[in-house]
Structure 1
Amino acid sequence: MIALSNPEKIALLTDSTADLTPAMREGKPIYVVPLKIRCDDGEFSDGVDIFAQDVYDRLHRGELPRTSLPEGGVVSDTLDQIRADGYEKVIAVMLSGGLSGTCNLVRVQAEQRDDLDIAVFDSRSGSLGIGIIVLQLWEEIQAGAGWDKLIHERVPHLVDNTFPFFSVDTLEYLRRGGRIGRITALAGTMLSIKPIITFSEDGQLQSIAKVRGRKQVQDKIVELLRSKFRTGKRYNLGVANGGAPAEMAELSEKIRARFPNFVHCWEGAMDATLSVYIGDGVIGGGIQFID
């Protein structure tokens, strides 16, 4: 059912790397297409029949799953469902084009539709970096923002002003996935170096800081968020983890205490797709400026 506060009948579309749980999407017109994960015993759909813990277990056994794009038919079927549910316009916010061709795939599918107005955006982000953009867009739709303002002003603003940072516990999976070199990974492991990673302007992963040992990770993430802070601006927070819920709870408490005037603080667990490349023991925090 279309909410009364959504007179232009706008739906939101994203992919499984946005890390939006069913509870977070409940009551909202947020549709998700799953990326694919190829394992030794077959191909699975992220968030449907394979989850992050499954990937962690496979990685620990020495298996190296591979990721691939959503099936074109699934994207088309999802758009069909959006139309059948009564929506007429779609804002799609997808995984960074620097990591995946998912955004381009959705653009191609969108161009083939004449029954829906569809605007597709590269989030230049991942995990809750995408998720909090989508959640904030729904807040703005409910507040009365119209289609033209959303696609020409608000989505570009949120993409440009959402800043996620996360730390990986080991560089081994980034090395095995071809994201970094063997020597870099070996040196980082020997020195117990924990890189803090964010997204560059072109949507690629980039190491923005390094600390020695996990104890310093949380304080470094808070410091990086503080470096982005803008006095007098409204903001949301996001906190995520991959197999480290207790540490995420600690980080969430620190971030909330340091930035107490947030509008929303959304928390979530990382998806199976990104877990292929970063493993478990991951924590992250982000800030998004609404104004």
Structure 2
Amino acid sequence: MSIKIITDSTSYIPKELIEKYDITVVSLGVVINNIANKEIEIENDKFYKTLEKLDSIPTSSQPSVDDLFNSFDQFIGEGHEALGVFISSEMSGTYATCNQLIKTMIMDKYPKARMEVIDSASNCMQMGYAVLEAAKLAEEGKSMEEVIAGVEAIKSKSRFLFVPDTLEYLKKGGRIGGAAALFGALLQIRPILTVEAGKTSVFDKVRTKQKAILKIIEKLQKDIKNRGLGQVIVHHINCEEEGRALANKIKEILGIDVDIQCIGPVIGCHVGPKTVGVVYYTEK
């Protein structure tokens, strides 16, 4: 018997790591022109080309009850324990559905089962690093309590800083008001966003995107100096060249190779193309 790790598609964990650690990914949905699609079945390049032509931004939805139930049922039925780590409950109902409905369904079918669900209070690789920590500890044969403790430790030491290219998608998605978006556009204010307590919030505001990038790197350096570096990755939304440039800047400073990972449609449609950012966690 072992502990199986389940997460959702908004973790955007690189495919090779998903396969290496045998992580199960349940897909959130994206509704484009009233047609529902699973995020994991959408090609990022095609999606972002389509997004530019749409009159209204797509909407997202949590995984189906069947997909969530089956992801746990397959492992519990084989005698394994299962741990799910999902997108912030402030951003999606996925965690609540798993922690309430799915867990009840599983326990009704398997009264002696061990199933746990964690609210990552984040998304993208900020969640992904917590998922990977869970998978590594499970592979080492750690107990459920030890795996959960490891996840919570990564959560407490991680940070996600990103800068959108425009405020328009945040405005359309209801993340900011129309007046704030207009004001920001007129003054060319660039908010540096972060995720705190499960919600998107403003970390800082600067006048240009380049200054925002420098501010993000400055914060990364400060945190590493004070607490050491665990891991770091660069995210981008359909702007690989910008992502690569940011990764190279970090490499120049830290002397380490930095991977880049494109953010998919569920998060991308709310923040918008040409967004770049950094996810990292510290050693302590």
TM, length-normalised to structure 1: 0.87
- Secondary structure of the residue aligned to 1:47 is helix
1:193 aligns with 2:189: yes
Partner of 1:166: 162
Cα pair 1:10 1:87 within 8 Å, conserved: no
Please tell me whether the aligned partners of residues 52 and 275 of structure 1 are also in contact (alpha carbons under 8 angstroms).
no
Q: 1:42 to 1:128 in 2, by over 3 A?
A: same
CA contact (8 A) 1:225 1:286 kept: no
Q: 1:224 to 1:160 in 2, by over 3 A?
A: same
Instruction: Report the Cα offset of residue 186 of structure 1.
Output: 1.0
Query: Does 1:57 pair with 2:57?
Result: no
Paired position in structure 2 for 1:208: 203
Partner of 2:68: 75
In the alignment, does 2:120 pair up with 1:123?
A: yes
Which of 133, 137, 146 aligns to 1:149? It is: 146
| Pair 91,290 (structure 1): closer, same or farther in 2 beyond 3 Å | farther
Q: Whose RCO is larger (CA < 8 A, sep 6+)?
A: 1
Runs of 4+ in 1 over 6 A off after TM superposition: none
Q: Which amino acid aligns with 2:189?
A: I
Decide which structure has greater helix share.
Answer: 2
Structure 2 counterpart of 1:286: 279
What is the Cα deviation at residue 57 of structure 1?
A: 2.8
Say if 1:55 and 1:65, in contact at 8 Å, map to a contact too: no
Q: Secondary structure at the match of 1:38?
A: strand
Note if contact 2:162-2:194 (Cα within 8 Å) is conserved in structure 1: yes
Is 1:239–1:266's contact at 8 Å kept on the other side of the alignment? yes
Question: 2:83 aligns to what?
Answer: 91
Q: Is the 2:164–2:191 Cα contact (8 Å) retained in structure 1?
A: yes
Q: Deviations over 1:44-73 (max 9, x none)?
A: 11112x243344233311232111111111
SS in 1 for 2:122: coil
* 2:28 corresponds to: 35
Paired with 1:259 and 1:142, the residues of 2 have a C-alpha distance of 30
Distance 1:39 1:204, change over 3 A: same
User: Given the superposition, is the C-alpha separation of residues 144 and 78 from structure 1 closer, same or farther in structure 2, using an over 3 Å criterion?
Assistant: closer
How far off its partner does 1:140 sit?
3.0
Distance 1:82 1:268, change over 3 A: farther
Matched, 1:134 2:131: yes
Residue type at the aligned position of 2:177? G
Identify the residue that residue 5 of structure 1 maps to in structure 2.
none
Which range is displaced more, 58-67 or 124-133? 58-67
Aligned to 1:182: 178
The offset of 1:143, in angstroms, is 4.2
